[in-house]
Amino acid sequence: MEDFTSLRNLMVETQLKTRGIKDKRVLNAMGTVERHLFVSELLKNHAYDDSALSIGEGQTISQPYMVAVMTELLELKGDEKVLEVGTGSGYQSAILSILCAEVFTIERIVLLAEKAEERFKKLGYKNIHVVKSDGTLGLPEQAPFDGIIVTAAAPEIPDTYVSQLKTGGRLVIPVGGRYSQILYQVKKTGSGIKTSMFTPCVFVPLIGKHGWTEGDTNNNY
Protein backbone atom coordinates (compact mmCIF):
# COMPACT_ATOMS: atom_id res chain seq x y z
CA MET A 1 0.00 0.00 0.00
CA GLU A 2 1.51 3.34 -1.08
CA ASP A 3 1.63 6.35 1.20
CA PHE A 4 -0.45 8.67 -0.94
CA THR A 5 0.19 11.78 1.21
CA SER A 6 3.95 11.53 0.64
CA LEU A 7 3.42 10.85 -3.06
CA ARG A 8 1.12 13.86 -3.31
CA ASN A 9 3.61 16.14 -1.55
CA LEU A 10 6.37 14.84 -3.80
CA MET A 11 4.18 15.57 -6.85
CA VAL A 12 3.72 19.18 -5.70
CA GLU A 13 7.45 19.65 -5.04
CA THR A 14 8.93 17.90 -8.07
CA GLN A 15 6.29 18.30 -10.79
CA LEU A 16 4.68 21.64 -9.97
CA LYS A 17 7.00 23.96 -7.98
CA THR A 18 10.10 23.11 -10.01
CA ARG A 19 8.23 23.83 -13.25
CA GLY A 20 7.14 27.27 -12.11
CA ILE A 21 3.70 26.91 -10.54
CA LYS A 22 3.65 29.78 -8.01
CA ASP A 23 0.06 30.40 -6.94
CA LYS A 24 0.03 29.21 -3.31
CA ARG A 25 -3.70 28.47 -3.37
CA VAL A 26 -3.26 26.25 -6.44
CA LEU A 27 -0.30 24.43 -4.87
CA ASN A 28 -2.32 23.93 -1.69
CA ALA A 29 -5.33 22.57 -3.60
CA MET A 30 -3.11 20.17 -5.57
CA GLY A 31 -1.58 19.05 -2.27
CA THR A 32 -5.01 18.51 -0.74
CA VAL A 33 -7.24 16.78 -3.30
CA GLU A 34 -6.81 13.00 -3.19
CA ARG A 35 -6.09 12.29 -6.85
CA HIS A 36 -5.94 8.52 -6.25
CA LEU A 37 -9.69 8.60 -5.50
CA PHE A 38 -10.40 9.83 -9.06
CA VAL A 39 -8.83 6.86 -10.90
CA SER A 40 -9.66 3.17 -11.04
CA GLU A 41 -8.38 0.79 -8.35
CA LEU A 42 -5.93 -0.60 -10.89
CA LEU A 43 -4.27 2.80 -11.49
CA LYS A 44 -4.25 4.09 -7.90
CA ASN A 45 -0.52 3.53 -7.49
CA HIS A 46 0.11 5.65 -10.59
CA ALA A 47 -2.23 8.50 -9.60
CA TYR A 48 0.67 10.82 -8.68
CA ASP A 49 2.81 9.97 -11.72
CA ASP A 50 3.86 12.79 -14.03
CA SER A 51 1.37 11.78 -16.71
CA ALA A 52 -2.24 11.62 -17.86
CA LEU A 53 -4.05 8.34 -17.07
CA SER A 54 -6.92 6.48 -18.67
CA ILE A 55 -10.36 6.87 -17.06
CA GLY A 56 -12.21 4.62 -19.52
CA GLU A 57 -14.49 5.55 -22.44
CA GLY A 58 -11.34 6.54 -24.36
CA GLN A 59 -10.83 9.56 -22.04
CA THR A 60 -8.12 10.67 -19.62
CA ILE A 61 -7.48 12.45 -16.33
CA SER A 62 -4.98 15.17 -17.26
CA GLN A 63 -1.34 15.25 -16.11
CA PRO A 64 -1.06 16.99 -12.69
CA TYR A 65 1.18 19.74 -14.12
CA MET A 66 -1.38 20.54 -16.84
CA VAL A 67 -4.17 20.73 -14.23
CA ALA A 68 -2.05 23.13 -12.18
CA VAL A 69 -1.06 25.38 -15.13
CA MET A 70 -4.65 25.64 -16.35
CA THR A 71 -5.96 26.34 -12.86
CA GLU A 72 -3.30 29.00 -12.26
CA LEU A 73 -4.26 30.73 -15.53
CA LEU A 74 -7.85 31.10 -14.26
CA GLU A 75 -6.42 33.51 -11.61
CA LEU A 76 -8.99 32.55 -8.96
CA LYS A 77 -9.30 34.42 -5.66
CA GLY A 78 -12.19 32.53 -4.06
CA ASP A 79 -15.53 34.16 -4.85
CA GLU A 80 -15.85 33.21 -8.53
CA LYS A 81 -18.33 31.20 -10.55
CA VAL A 82 -16.46 28.90 -12.92
CA LEU A 83 -17.52 26.71 -15.85
CA GLU A 84 -15.50 23.60 -16.68
CA VAL A 85 -16.07 21.78 -19.97
CA GLY A 86 -15.03 18.11 -19.79
CA THR A 87 -15.76 16.71 -16.30
CA GLY A 88 -13.99 13.40 -17.01
CA SER A 89 -12.97 11.90 -13.65
CA GLY A 90 -14.00 15.02 -11.72
CA TYR A 91 -10.45 15.72 -10.47
CA GLN A 92 -10.14 19.18 -12.05
CA SER A 93 -13.61 20.10 -10.73
CA ALA A 94 -12.53 19.08 -7.21
CA ILE A 95 -9.44 21.32 -7.46
CA LEU A 96 -11.62 24.22 -8.66
CA SER A 97 -14.21 23.63 -5.96
CA ILE A 98 -11.78 24.60 -3.21
CA LEU A 99 -10.50 27.65 -5.11
CA CYS A 100 -13.77 29.37 -6.08
CA ALA A 101 -17.39 29.69 -4.95
CA GLU A 102 -19.25 27.58 -7.50
CA VAL A 103 -18.26 25.13 -10.22
CA PHE A 104 -20.48 24.11 -13.12
CA THR A 105 -18.99 21.21 -15.04
CA ILE A 106 -20.28 19.75 -18.31
CA GLU A 107 -19.61 16.24 -19.62
CA ARG A 108 -20.96 14.72 -22.84
CA ILE A 109 -20.35 11.06 -21.84
CA VAL A 110 -23.18 10.27 -19.44
CA LEU A 111 -21.38 7.34 -17.77
CA LEU A 112 -18.39 9.56 -16.83
CA ALA A 113 -20.68 12.36 -15.64
CA GLU A 114 -22.58 9.94 -13.39
CA LYS A 115 -19.41 8.44 -11.94
CA ALA A 116 -18.02 11.91 -11.21
CA GLU A 117 -21.31 12.97 -9.60
CA GLU A 118 -21.16 9.93 -7.31
CA ARG A 119 -17.58 10.77 -6.34
CA PHE A 120 -18.48 14.37 -5.47
CA LYS A 121 -21.32 13.16 -3.29
CA LYS A 122 -19.20 10.54 -1.54
CA LEU A 123 -16.28 12.92 -0.96
CA GLY A 124 -18.50 15.83 0.17
CA TYR A 125 -17.87 18.35 -2.64
CA LYS A 126 -21.04 20.43 -2.38
CA ASN A 127 -20.39 23.36 -4.75
CA ILE A 128 -19.94 21.31 -7.95
CA HIS A 129 -22.90 21.02 -10.33
CA VAL A 130 -22.65 18.40 -13.08
CA VAL A 131 -24.44 18.96 -16.40
CA LYS A 132 -24.70 16.23 -19.04
CA SER A 133 -24.68 17.92 -22.44
CA ASP A 134 -22.60 19.32 -25.29
CA GLY A 135 -20.21 21.69 -23.53
CA THR A 136 -19.28 23.49 -26.75
CA LEU A 137 -22.53 25.40 -26.23
CA GLY A 138 -21.35 26.59 -22.81
CA LEU A 139 -24.04 27.03 -20.18
CA PRO A 140 -26.04 30.14 -21.12
CA GLU A 141 -28.53 29.71 -18.24
CA GLN A 142 -25.71 30.15 -15.68
CA ALA A 143 -23.65 32.75 -17.58
CA PRO A 144 -21.79 35.01 -17.17
CA PHE A 145 -18.79 33.24 -15.62
CA ASP A 146 -15.62 34.63 -14.04
CA GLY A 147 -13.68 31.74 -15.51
CA ILE A 148 -14.17 29.04 -18.15
CA ILE A 149 -11.78 26.11 -18.39
CA VAL A 150 -11.99 23.69 -21.29
CA THR A 151 -10.20 20.39 -20.64
CA ALA A 152 -10.49 19.02 -24.17
CA ALA A 153 -8.88 20.29 -27.38
CA ALA A 154 -10.75 22.73 -29.59
CA PRO A 155 -9.98 23.44 -33.27
CA GLU A 156 -10.50 27.15 -32.54
CA ILE A 157 -11.77 29.39 -29.73
CA PRO A 158 -15.57 29.04 -29.73
CA ASP A 159 -17.32 32.45 -29.53
CA THR A 160 -19.86 30.90 -27.17
CA TYR A 161 -17.26 30.85 -24.39
CA VAL A 162 -16.13 34.45 -24.88
CA SER A 163 -19.73 35.64 -24.89
CA GLN A 164 -20.43 33.74 -21.64
CA LEU A 165 -17.50 35.38 -19.78
CA LYS A 166 -17.86 38.43 -17.56
CA THR A 167 -15.80 41.45 -18.50
CA GLY A 168 -12.48 40.75 -16.76
CA GLY A 169 -13.14 36.98 -16.97
CA ARG A 170 -10.60 34.38 -18.13
CA LEU A 171 -11.00 31.49 -20.58
CA VAL A 172 -8.35 28.74 -20.53
CA ILE A 173 -8.46 26.37 -23.49
CA PRO A 174 -6.16 24.10 -25.54
CA VAL A 175 -6.47 25.06 -29.21
CA GLY A 176 -4.95 23.49 -32.30
CA GLY A 177 -4.94 20.24 -34.27
CA ARG A 178 -6.50 17.00 -33.25
CA TYR A 179 -3.22 15.58 -31.91
CA SER A 180 -1.32 18.59 -30.55
CA GLN A 181 -2.32 21.98 -29.27
CA ILE A 182 -1.21 25.16 -27.51
CA LEU A 183 -2.73 26.24 -24.23
CA TYR A 184 -4.38 29.68 -24.53
CA GLN A 185 -5.58 32.15 -21.94
CA VAL A 186 -8.19 34.58 -23.26
CA LYS A 187 -9.09 37.60 -21.13
CA LYS A 188 -12.28 39.48 -21.86
CA THR A 189 -11.70 43.21 -21.49
CA GLY A 190 -13.99 46.22 -21.82
CA SER A 191 -12.72 46.76 -25.35
CA GLY A 192 -12.37 43.19 -26.69
CA ILE A 193 -10.22 40.18 -25.88
CA LYS A 194 -6.55 39.72 -25.00
CA THR A 195 -5.17 36.33 -26.07
CA SER A 196 -1.95 34.85 -24.66
CA MET A 197 -0.31 31.55 -25.64
CA PHE A 198 1.30 29.25 -23.09
CA THR A 199 2.62 25.69 -23.18
CA PRO A 200 2.27 23.04 -25.95
CA CYS A 201 -0.10 20.26 -24.87
CA VAL A 202 -1.99 17.16 -26.03
CA PHE A 203 -5.66 16.77 -25.09
CA VAL A 204 -8.46 14.47 -26.21
CA PRO A 205 -10.76 16.26 -28.67
CA LEU A 206 -13.62 18.57 -27.73
CA ILE A 207 -16.47 16.95 -29.62
CA GLY A 208 -19.65 18.88 -30.33
CA LYS A 209 -21.39 21.60 -32.30
CA HIS A 210 -18.52 24.10 -31.97
CA GLY A 211 -15.73 21.52 -31.66
CA TRP A 212 -14.61 18.44 -33.57
CA THR A 213 -16.97 15.95 -35.18
CA GLU A 214 -16.87 12.45 -33.67
CA GLY A 215 -14.71 10.18 -35.84
CA ASP A 216 -13.34 13.14 -37.79
CA THR A 217 -10.09 12.10 -39.45
CA ASN A 218 -9.39 15.45 -41.01
CA ASN A 219 -5.96 15.80 -39.38
CA ASN A 220 -4.80 19.32 -38.89
CA TYR A 221 -1.49 19.07 -37.07
Residues with catalytic roles = 62
As a whole number of angstroms, the distance between CA 62 and CA 65 comes to 8
Among 76, 96, 109, 128, binds ligand SAM (CB under 6 A): 109
Select the span of 8-16, 22-30, 82-90, 179-187 touching ligand SAM (CB under 6 A): 82-90
Angle, helices 24-32/64-73, rounded to nearest 10 degrees: 140
Rounded Cα distance between 212 and 67, Å, is: 22
- Nearest approach, Cβ of 3 to ligand SAM (angstroms)? 23
Distances, alpha carbon 88 to alpha carbons 72, 101, 109, 134, 218, in Å = 19, 21, 8, 13, 25
Residue closer to ligand SAM, measured from CB, 109 or 165 = 109
Count, residues in the chain: 221
| DSSP SS3 for 124 | coil
Q: Of the candidates 11, 12, 23, 59, which one interacts with ligand SAM according to CB under 6 A? A: 59
The nearest distance, CB 81 to ligand SAM, in angstroms, is 18
Interface pattern 171-210 for ligand SAM (x via CB under 6 A): --------------------------------xx-xxx--
CA 159 → CA 13, 66, 186, 201, distances in Å? 37, 24, 11, 22
Decide if residue 15 touches ligand SAM (CB under 6 A): no
Beta-sheet pairing, 181-189 with 81-85: unpaired
- Based on the shown chain and the rule CB under 6 A, indicate whether residue 86 belongs to the binding site for ligand SAM: yes
With CB under 6 A as the contact rule, the residue among 88, 155, 158, 174 that binds ligand SAM is 88
**Residues of this chain, 124-153, that bind ligand SAM according to CB under 6 A:** 134-136, 151-152
Q: How far apart are CA 29 and CA 12, in angstroms?
A: 10
As measured in angstroms, the least distance from the Cβ of 107 to ligand SAM is 5
State the nearest-atom distance from the C-beta of 178 to ligand SAM, in Å. 12
Residue 120 CB, nearest approach to ligand SAM (Å): 12
Q: Where are the beta strands (DSSP E) in the chain?
A: 53-56, 59-61, 81-85, 102-107, 128-132, 145-150, 165-176, 181-189, 192-201
Among 106, 148, 154, 183, binds ligand SAM (CB under 6 A): 106
Residues with Cβ within 8 Å of 176's Cβ and at least 6 positions away in sequence, in order, are: 153, 155, 182, 220, 221
- Interface residues with ligand SAM (CB under 6 A) are 59-62, 85-86, 88-89, 91-92, 106-109, 112, 134-136, 151-152, 203-204, 206-208, 211
